Amino acid sequence: MELVTPEIGLVFWTTVSFLILLFILGKFAWGPILLAITERETSIETALSRAEAAKEEMARLTSENDALLKEARIERDNILREAKKMKDQIVSDAKETANKEGARLIEKARIEIDNQTAIAMAQVKDQVASLSIEIAEKILQKQFEDQSKQDALVADLLKQVKLN
């Protein structure tokens, strides 16, 4: 039962040793421990403020990045719009040039066809005239062989001339 109800001497010496231990710890250990805790608290506060600053910097960089990205998209859209305009203009110019060149070639071909047609018609007329003359010569030669046919032809011609 001695352990459950301690004696006064044990309580006295336990209290004295506790106070000596408390004094020694207060003199030599509490200062460095509190200093270490203060330093740790300061480093944690510094780390938190740095983290907050880094977070703000990241937010600023993110907003700048978003702004740059938006600006780049606008610039890309403008470049694409300009490129489409240029493409449409080039295609339009090419079509116009092709139409003009086609019209010029068609006109040139039409003129060439007209010229060739005129030349062919002239040649046909010359051939028809030559053939007509040859036929007329042969007919006249046949007609002039016989004197009675010549007289009949002159008489017919005179009748036609008088009637006209």
Return the HEC string of 64-125.
HHHHHHHHHHHHHHHHHHHHHHHHHHHHHHHHHHHHHHHHHHHHHHHHHHHHHHHHHHHHHH
> pLDDT per position in the chain (164 positions), as tens?
566 777 888 889 999 999 999 999 888 888 888 889 999 999 999 999 999 999 999 999 999 999 999 999 999 999 999 999 999 999 999 999 999 999 999 999 999 999 999 999 989 888 888 888 888 777 777 766 777 777 777 788 778 776 54
Phi/psi for 78 (5° steps) reads -65, -45
Q: Are 141 and 135 in contact (CB under 8 A)?
A: no
* Residue 83 one-letter amino acid: A
Give residue 158's pLDDT.
77
Give residue 129's pLDDT.
83
Cα Rg for the chain, rounded, in angstroms? 64
* Ramachandran quadrant class, 78 (left: phi over 0; alpha: psi -120 to 50; beta: rest): alpha
Distance between CA 71 and CA 77 in Å, rounded?
Answer: 10
In the block, tokens 């040649």 appear at 123
Q: Is the dihedral of CA 49, 52, 58, 61 positive or negative?
A: negative
Give residue 6's pLDDT.
74
